[in-house]
Each structure stands twice: as structure tokens, then as C-alpha cells.
Amino acid sequence: MIYLDNAATTRHKPKSVLKAVENELKNSANPGRSGHNCSLKSSERIYNARKVLGDLFHIENIEDIILTPNATYALNFGIKGILSEGDHVITTSMEHNSVLRPLHALSGISVTRVKADCYGFVEPAWIEAEIKPETKLIVVNHSSNVTGSIQDICTIGQIAKRHGILFMVDASQSAGVLPIDVNEFQIDLLGFPGHKGLYGPQGTGGLYIRPGLNLKTIIEGGTGSESSLLNNPDFLPDKLESGTLNTPGFYGLSKGVEYVLKEGVSNILSYEHFLLDLMKETLYNMEQVTVYGPVDSKRQTGTLSINLNGMDSGVAANILNDDYHIAVRSGFHCAYPAHETIGTEKTGTVRVSVSAFTKEKEVKKFLEAIHKMSKTKI
């Protein structure tokens, strides 16, 4: 199978990740609960996961990183933990449902959704123009899971800072492929998955919380600390990390992040740009194919949306799967407003997404398949 659905979950993981998960599964103990050597070993693995994530995102105090099961939990913890009735939030039309739905679910807050252009870009000035006295938070998807479009979070962060507004970034598609420095970009809340560009297992993700921010708890329970109290402890990470952590997963994630740090984010991105250019060169010249999103791959992470004109995106993905053994995703990718933005609200798109492990020859086979489909099926 040729796997081109890495925006959902990266399938090929570094060997060190697989070894780590197996090792911890064979030797699991509960981290942070007991003082015996097995528990201490597991705690050390959790500590290491936080440590390398801190290195990657330039986070000084690694206890400001909350480990979560995925990016959705992280984004929910951040959004629901910080907002109160009367608050106004600015976000964009390129957001994923893991931002749009928690915002929608909160009562008493108002939301302004800034519409991106047809390539998926939002001008920072468009966000600034929507600021009101009651604006509490700006939430931006760093890079789109539909078009790959990269937003200028550096400038948006400066705007947020200048106006005294909190800035939250959804790094689901950018963690591991774009440089992220929480200080340089003035990020107050950073939600990220472990199972995509950080090459960890599913069941891993996290939220960075800038020191001084006081988030409400969403889940309360055992933390292994201050057990005599009915409230969750008041300090991080315990305040927001109730229940047993996925130690095998986070040990695996630590190895995935080590891989990213060793390879270098910019080298991974350059390789993904090379693959994107390879695809675009051919696809732009196919009459029966529409390519969406940025023209310049440099403004994009390794995700490309296309349609074969006249063919439903689901049908196209099924043909790719059944006849060519190529895995892609079709439909709306949990981000319907992004489709309204790029004009695919009726059709959805066929989404092709690469990783550091995608081979050039796999991309070429995909292009051959699209070429054949465009000739024979329409």
C-alpha cells in the first residue's frame, strides 16, 4: 500500500518509536503514582517526552506542557479552560472542527470567523480589524489540513500581544514540519498531536500553557499528588493531567520527537516541498485535475487537495484504494468552512499528504494512477 494520508496520522514511524512502545508495554508501571523503581522508570519516560517537546517548541519550563490523548483534547482544554461568558474570540475559516466545535459548544461567548482567501491564507490585518474590547482570544490553525496553507503566526502573535489578547495556535499540521518557538511567536496556548508530524503513536498529544495563565479544569481525578484534597492540585501539569497517562505512547512520542530534532524540522519541510513540487508540476498540467491551495509550495506544509473534474472525491479515493492500493482521504476533512473558502463545499477534495518517510517513487505511482484515472474514468 502506498500511504498518502499522513495528515491524518503518519503511518511509518522511526524504528526507535516502535521499539520504545514495545519496551514500555512489556515493562509498564504507573508513572507518578508510586515510589518503586518500576513507577520511577515510567515517570522518567514521561519526563523525557516533556523534555524533548520543550526542546522542539522552545519551552523553558516543561511542566507547562500538558500531555493529552490527541490535539482535540488539547484544543478543548485550552479553549474551554480559558474562556468565560461574555468573551469574544477571533478565529479563521481554515480551522478544524476540534477548534470550531468547542467554540460552538460554549454558551455566552461570541465568535468572529475571519474568511481566508481562496488559497487558504488569512492576512493578519484582517484579524486585527475584528478586535473588540471584549476579545479575549485569537485561535489560528498554523497550517491547514485541507490546503496546507501556512498562516503568518509570527505577525498574528505580535498583533495579539499588542492588544493584550491571548493567542492560541493549532499546530496539528505544523508540529514537526515548521519551526515553532512559543516565545518568538508570542504563543499563549499551543495544541499539538503526537501522532502526525512528531511520529509518535496514536493516543498522544499535548498543550503548552504560558506561565501565569490559569485554566479551569475540564477533567478532575487522580493525579498522584495532594490526594487528600477534593480539588485537583493547583499546579501544572497535575492540575490538567488527571488519570493515568499513556506511558507507552509518550515514550514512543519522545523517540519520534528525537527523530525530528535529529533530522531537523527545516530538512523535513524541504523534503516535503520537493515531493509537493513533484506532484504539482504534473497535476497542474492535467486538464481533468483541479489543484487547490497555495501555488508556491514554500507557503504550504505537505498536504495537497485536488479533484478529478466530474468525479466525486469519495469515488476517486475509493478507486485509488481499490485499483491502485493508494491511501488518501476524501470529503471535508473535518473542516467544512475551509471548503466553503476554497470553493469545494459541494464536492470536498481528495487530500494527498506526505511525510518524511514518503518515497519519491510512491508519489510518481500516485501521479500515474491519477493520469490513468483522468483518461479512463471521466
Ligand X SMILES: Cc1ncc(COP(=O)(O)O)c(C=O)c1O
Residues that bind ligand X (CB under 6 A): 8, 70-72, 96, 98, 141, 145, 170, 172-173, 193, 205
Q: At what angle do helices 247-263 and 15-26 cross, to 10 degrees?
A: 160
User: DSSP per residue over 84-131, as a string?
Assistant: -TT-EEEEETT--HHHHHHHHHSTT-EEEEEPP-TTS---HHHHHTT-
Of the two residues 265 and 369, which places its CB atom closer to ligand X in the complex? 265
Contact 210, 189 (CB under 8 A): yes
b/e code 230-261 from CB counts within 10 Å (16+ = b):
eebbeebbbbbbbeebbbbbbbbbbbbbbbbe
User: DSSP per residue over 189-234, as a string?
Assistant: EEEEESSSTT---SS-EEEEE-TT--PPPSS----SSSTT-SSPPS
Of the two residues 77 and 271, which places its CB atom closer to ligand X in the complex? 77
Of the two residues 39 and 172, which places its CB atom closer to ligand X in the complex? 172
Closest CA relative to residue 64, chosen from 242, 207, 266, 184: 207
Residue type at 327 in one-letter notation: A
Q: How far is the CB of 248 from ligand X (least distance, A)?
A: 17
Of the two residues 105 and 129, which places its CB atom closer to ligand X in the complex? 105
Q: How far is the CB of 98 from ligand X (least distance, A)?
A: 4
Contact 165, 158 (CB under 8 A): no
Q: How far is the CB of 333 from ligand X (least distance, A)?
A: 7
Q: How far is the CB of 8 from ligand X (least distance, A)?
A: 6
Of the two residues 91 and 172, which places its CB atom closer to ligand X in the complex? 172
Q: How far is the CB of 315 from ligand X (least distance, A)?
A: 22
Of the two residues 54 and 78, which places its CB atom closer to ligand X in the complex? 78
Of the two residues 301 and 374, which places its CB atom closer to ligand X in the complex? 301
Q: How far is the CB of 198 from ligand X (least distance, A)?
A: 11
Q: How far is the CB of 285 from ligand X (least distance, A)?
A: 29
Q: Which residues contact 239 (CB under 8 A, 6 or more apart)?
A: 215, 217, 223, 232, 233
Q: How far apart are CA 370 and CA 313, in angstroms?
A: 12
